Amino acid sequence: MTDLQQLAVPFTGSLLKKAPAGKFGSYVSHSTITERLLSIVGPFTFEVTDLIRGWTDEVVIGRGKPDQRVYPARDAIVGCIARLEVEVDGRTVAISEVGDVEGAAAQSDGANAKEASSDALKRCAMRLGLGLHLWSQGDYFLDRQLAKAEQ
């Protein structure tokens, strides 16, 4: 099986996590994406090339409850641009993607940078086919198409 075919294999079972309230679909943790990526392509280069700052929305946790917390809108890290470089089937591939931060006002810039870089890594991996089925949902066909092409 080629690297690309292995990258295209969907995650199943306990590796799939249910989306938090208000979100749709399933997700796979950052650590699981990293493990699968390492197991298929080996060591890789990943770097955050730019941090994106911006004005955040106010975040309210526990709205209307006695222990409600309000984090006011502020200037914060709200995302990043990152670059992943790997070797897939003997070819060096470099991908840049944007990572996002949700609820940036409620976290420190350090935590926001980590969340954004984690999101960017997942998005870079998706461009290689890893976890792509999570975005495609029921329309996913890459794994079957690659298997058919090999035959």
Supply φ then ψ for residue 45, to 5 degrees: -105, 130
Dihedral sign computed on CA atoms, order 87, 141, 32, 47: positive
Task: List, for residues 27-36, the tens digit of each pLDDT value.
Answer: 999 999 999 9
* pTM of the predicted model as reported, rounded to 2 decimal places: 0.90
CATH number, domain with residue 103: 3.30.390
pLDDT at 20 over 90: no
Q: Which residue range is the domain that position 7 belongs to?
A: 3-150
Assign 138 a pLDDT band (cuts: 50, 70, 90). confident
Q: Are 83 and 115 in contact (CB under 8 A)?
A: no
Considering its fold, how many domains does the chain have in total?
1
Task: List, for residues 49-60, the tens digit of each pLDDT value.
Answer: 999 999 999 999
